[in-house]
Amino acid sequence: MKRHLPGFLAASVLALTATGLAAGPIATSSAADSPSVTASNLPDASAITPIGDIRRGSMVTVHGTVERILDTDEFRIADDSGDIRVYIGYRNFVPVAEGETVHVTGFVDRDILKEIYAREIIHADGRITQLSQGYE
C-alpha cells in the first residue's frame, strides 16, 4: 500500500481539480471580455457598508483588503472599521489574493459569528467574479 500511496494521492488531486474545473461555478469577466465592465461600474460609495456596521440578515456590499485566505472557499476582508469572514461556497475556489483590494456583495448570515455569503466580487482591475449560489 505504501508504494501506491503517492500515485493514489496524485490521481485524487487531479480528479478533484478536474471535477472542480469542469463544474465551472465561478464566472469571471474582464474589461477585455465586456466593454461595459469599467471602474465606473464599481458600487457607489453610499452603497458600501463599513464592515463594523454590518447587521445580521442583511445584503451588503463591503470594500476592503483581503487580509488572509482561510480555506479554499473562505477569506477574511478588512477595512478601517473592522474585518469579517467571507464564504464563497464549497463549490468555488477563492478567486482573490492576500493584499488584494476588492468589493464583495453578499448576504450576512444570522449565526453567532458574522460571515458574508458572497455572491459577487469586483476586483480592483474591474474584473467581476460571479459566484455560484450553492452554499450548502
CA distance 30 to 128: 7
pLDDT tens string 1-46: 455 544 544 444 444 444 344 344 455 554 444 444 455 567 777 7
The number of C-alpha atoms within 13 Å of 82 and in the hemisphere containing its C-beta is 11
Q: What is the pLDDT of residue 134?
A: 56
pLDDT tens string 94-136: 999 999 999 999 999 998 889 999 999 999 999 999 997 654 4
Average pLDDT for 85-96: 92
Domain ranges of the chain: 26-130
C-alpha cell at 55: 447587521
Q: What is the pLDDT of residue 5?
A: 47
Q: What is the pLDDT of residue 110?
A: 92
Superfamily of domain 26-130 in the CATH hierarchy: Bacterial OB-fold (2.40.50.200)
pLDDT tens string 45-69: 778 999 999 999 999 999 999 999 9
Q: How far apart are the two ends of the chain, measured CA to CA in Å?
A: 35
Q: What is the pLDDT of residue 3?
A: 55
